[in-house]
Each structure stands twice: as C-alpha cells, then as structure tokens.
Amino acid sequence: MHIILAGPRGFCAGVNMAIESLRSAIRRYGTPVYVYHEIVHNRWVVDHFRKQGVVLVDDLAEVPESANLLYSAHGVSPEVRRTAARRRLKVIDATCPLVTKVHKEAIRYAQQGYKIVLIGHAGHDEVLGTMGEASESIVLVQTIEDVDRLGFEQTDKLAYLTQTTLSVDDAGQIIDRLQQRFPQIVAPRKEDICYATTNRQEAVKILSLQSELVLVVGSRSSSNSRRLAESAIATGVSAHLIDGPDDIEPNWFSCVRTVVITAGASAPETIVQKCVVLLQGEFTATVESRTIRHENVQFTLPEPLPTTLL
C-alpha cells in the first residue's frame, strides 16, 4: 500500500491561535480556565484540555463570577458577550479573526439597511454568533431549496455572507442560485470561506483522484472535516472520517493500493501520524507527502495574553 499525505492538512492559523491562547491562559492564571463551548471541534484536543483542568461550558451560568473565560475559535454572539460582562468574567477572546471578519460584515450590512442571507449550517457555533450580530436582518439558508423559498423581491437591498467552513462547491451552487433569483445581491468584499477550508478541500480533491480511498482525520462535530470527506467522495472515491487510528477498519483496504490521508483544521498532526504508523504496521505501507499549496497565515494571541506571533 502507498500512503499520500495531503498538504495542507490539519491545524489552521485560527485553531493554532485558540489552542495556544488556552495554553497561555493556563500558564498565566492556572486552572480552572472556563471555555465557552468546545475550544475547537476535536475530541483529542478537548480531552487533552479537560485533563488539564479546563472546564467547557454551554451556559455562562455555569461559570463562577469573575472567573477566567475563553471564547472558542468559532466566536460568540453579542448576547454571550453581554452576559459575560454582567457576570464580570475575565474574557480572553480567541475567536478566529476570519470569523470576526464575517461578524463585522454582518454588522456593516445591517447598518447599511441590507437584508442578509447567511449560507451556513443551523446550530453551528459560528452561525449562531454571526446571526446574533444582526438577528433582525439575517436569514439563514442551508440549501438551494431554501433559496427558492426566500420571499425577497428583486428590488430589495440584499447581501449574502457564508460560514467560513463550508464546502466551496456546495456554497458556490447556492450563491449561483441566489444570484439568479436576486441579481442585485451584494457579495462580501473578500471570500468568507476561509483559506484553510479552501486549501484543504482543493488538496483532497486533486489527490483523491490518484487513490482508491481517503481517510479524513477529524471529529464529526468539525464542519470543515466533514466537508473534506464530502469533497473526496464527490470525486468518486470512498472516504471515511475518523477520529483516530481506533476507528480504522481493516476491511476498508481490500482493493486499495493508494490511500490519501488528510486532516481537518482542528485535527492534531500527532493523530495523523498514529494512523500512518498503524497502516505501515498492518500493510507495510510506503509514505509520500504531497503539498498542493503552502500556507503562511499566522495570528497573534488575543489580549491580555502576551503578544506572541504563532
């Protein structure tokens, strides 16, 4: 068997920043440090920090007054910010700047009187945060059929935004339909689907054509990991989303000579390497790295943490 390790894969700049922020907060304040929702959508990362004394909460009522609270990479709504301020929580905002960009676009469009169509997945943390920024002005669409049901007119002032971790192809089809129905609709100045999502999908689409099977390392709760698996399947190969080596089943490989391994933006490289080691042991697999696009995006840690460029 031959393994192609897809590049880029794994941690993006936003996830790196969020994880390093939490590490830095633990060093600076000790535990417990509270995190609103999962710091990133990955079981290994979450378990690792839980063991260190980090407490993940879904409701700020669970956080004692004046405690240290970190917002995850996916961002929060203004309502969460107001509640945190009321409870005098010491907030470290590890929202990815590329999510904040979408929040700011929502605020700007709403202030300018636009109705905003947000393309995203209902219930995702990022979507809840973005919708909370301009709840009176935003409507969520998840499918082309949702676009067909929109009650706007071609004279309405409309703009669209997208969640950062969507399938580039699926979002493109929804945008096409929006533009057909509402030619006046305004697009974001710069693409909302982030560089990391775009690059990982591009790499898996190119490399999966040279394989019979794609393994995507990532948790089911991770939107961009699920979209990676879907991107591979769309090219005609089999693909499995796995949390780690324990999920790998030997019968997947009966007719497989080449397997591509990639990882979602929240999946640690250590877990990728454990999968590689397992396949090398089971199938004496050879390993090759293929990088389709190089990345050099970095974000600084949020205040009040020391300003470190990651």
What residues are annotated to the active site?
126
Closest to 99 measured CA to CA, from 192, 219, 200? 192
- Residue closer to ligand SF4, measured from CB, 199 or 208: 199
- Residue closer to ligand SF4, measured from CB, 98 or 271: 98
Phi and psi at 85, nearest 5°, equal -65, -40
As measured in angstroms, the least distance from the Cβ of 21 to ligand SF4 is: 12
Residue owning tokens 């209902």:
122
69-78 burial, b for 16+ CB within 10 Å, e for fewer?
bbbbbbbbbe
Closest to 302 measured CA to CA, from 70, 30, 35, 55? 70
- Residue closer to ligand SF4, measured from CB, 42 or 211: 42
Give the E-state strand segments of 81-180 in sequence order. 90-93, 115-119, 138-141, 158-162
Q: Which residues contact 16 (CB under 8 A, 6 or more apart)?
A: 298, 299, 310
User: Rounded to whole angstroms, how far apart are CA atoms 79 and 94?
Assistant: 17
Cα angle 129, 132, 137; round to 5:
130
Distance of CA 301 to the CA centre of its chain: 18
Cα–Cα distances in angstroms (integers) from residue 67 to residues 29, 48, 89, 187, in the given order: 10, 21, 5, 40
- Residue closer to ligand SF4, measured from CB, 24 or 222: 222
- Residue closer to ligand SF4, measured from CB, 132 or 264: 264
Sign of the alpha-carbon torsion through 304, 80, 15, 50: positive
As measured in angstroms, the least distance from the Cβ of 224 to ligand SF4 is: 5
- Residue closer to ligand SF4, measured from CB, 126 or 243: 126
Instruction: Please check whether residue 204 is in contact with residue 180, taking contact to mean a CB–CB distance below 8 angstroms.
Output: no
Instruction: Please check whether residue 200 is in contact with residue 264, taking contact to mean a CB–CB distance below 8 angstroms.
Output: yes
As measured in angstroms, the least distance from the Cβ of 129 to ligand SF4 is: 12
* Bridge partner list, 56: 35
Look up residue 53 and give its two tokens. Answer: 């004394």
As measured in angstroms, the least distance from the Cβ of 193 to ligand SF4 is: 8
As measured in angstroms, the least distance from the Cβ of 10 to ligand SF4 is: 11
As measured in angstroms, the least distance from the Cβ of 204 to ligand SF4 is: 15
Which residues are near ligand SF4 by CB under 6 A?
Answer: 12-15, 73, 96, 98-99, 164-165, 194, 196-197, 224, 265
